[in-house]
Structure 1
Amino acid sequence: MIRTVTLNDAQAIADIYNEYIVHTCITFETAPVSPAEMADRIRTISSTYPYFVYEADGEMLGYCYAHGWKEKQAYRQTAETTVYVKKGHTGKGIGQALMQQLIDASQKAGLHVLIACITYPNEASVRLHEKLGFKQVSRFNEVGRKFGQWLDIYDFQLVLSE
């Protein structure tokens, strides 16, 4: 079941996200996020942008949201996307279902473009976004450093309306 996030989801979202922070280069954050900090992020983001969670049998298995891409006012109809699926539950269509809900809600909210910033390599995320119609528009080399290695990022773009 996909539903809108609540502040009560902060612990479960922090648990999912912290697994990626501690064990992968998929996120450039390097320190785990507390449930209180995650609640603050949820409060801020969900007040302006769509934010969804995926639950099955009372367990949160993933989440996604849109958030501001750049601060200047002219970018107000462009948003960056974020999607994470709990370890052990990837490859089951959860990310795709969440992202499709996010795309639909973003379009209804009047957003024009969604941007996905994907760390290289992350072929699963690349395939997911391409399946949803995102197109690669840039690659930035060695812009992040984590676990002693330089990391590249790809930007993928989806134009929602003409």
Structure 2
Amino acid sequence: MSTLSFKELEESDIPLLMDIYNHFVVHTTVSFHTEPVEISEFTESVRHPNPRYQTYVITLDGVLQGYVQVMPHKKKQAYDTTGEVTIYLHPECVGKGLGSAAIQYIETVAKERGFHALISTICANNIPSIHMFTKNGYTQCAHYREVGFKWGQFLDIVTYQKII
């Protein structure tokens, strides 16, 4: 039987996680970056000075599979009870239930840290992510049309929310 676990991000995890992220940058419209990110930019996106906001590494049988994070939704204080959830999995792990487990894990962490609402912003073309969040009780609360442009096409984003 496989063992799924979550651990706080360590410096040594960053290059492998960046490789996973950059796969989606280069090969999909999941990320709105159009060029692979450098280590400094990626590090800034997965580390936050406030320990309330964390990135967790997802491992299966001790092998890194991806990451899940809860970060600030906005910088203004009234938003402090809302977190933004992001999940990136190694492409070979997509569709195996790891994303749902990551959502459940991050919701538990978020509740312990006083969050009230979680949101996720997703490219509207990313049907697997939309399905995963919907399956876990998130509802669509926004649809922004043609706000991104990548590979010669305009892209929509959708925002999903769950009150936890």
Normalised to the residue count of structure 2, the TM-score between the two structures is 0.91
1:6 aligns with 2:10: yes
Question: Gapped runs of 5+ residues in structure 2?
Answer: none
**CA RMSD after TM alignment:** 1.5
Q: Paired residue for 2:152?
A: 148
2:122 to 109, 118, 131: 118
Structure 1 residue 48: Cα displacement = 3.2
1:38 to 37, 42, 45: 42
2:141 to 134, 137, 141: 137
Q: Paired residue for 1:107?
A: 111
Q: Paired residue for 1:68?
A: 72
Higher mean C-alpha deviation, range 53-62 or range 76-85: 53-62
- What CA deviation, in whole Å up to 9, does each residue of 1:89-108 have, x standing for no partner? 11111111111110110011
Which one-letter code corresponds to 1:147 in the other structure? W
1:90 aligns with 2:94: yes
Which one-letter code corresponds to 2:80 in the other structure? R
Which one-letter code corresponds to 2:29 in the other structure? C
Q: Check whether the contact 2:82–2:116 (CA below 8 A) recurs between aligned residues.
A: yes
Structure 1 residue 42: Cα displacement = 2.9
Cα distance in 2 for residues equivalent to 1:114 and 1:103 = 8
Higher mean C-alpha deviation, range 30-39 or range 104-113: 30-39
Normalised to the residue count of structure 1, the TM-score between the two structures is 0.92
Cα distance in 2 for residues equivalent to 1:11 and 1:22 = 16
Q: Check whether the contact 2:121–2:158 (CA below 8 A) recurs between aligned residues.
A: yes
Higher mean C-alpha deviation, range 47-56 or range 64-73: 47-56
Cα distance in 1 for residues equivalent to 2:50 and 2:63 = 21
Structure 1 residue 57: Cα displacement = 4.1
Question: Gapped runs of 5+ residues in structure 1?
Answer: none
The alignment covers a number of residue pairs equal to 160
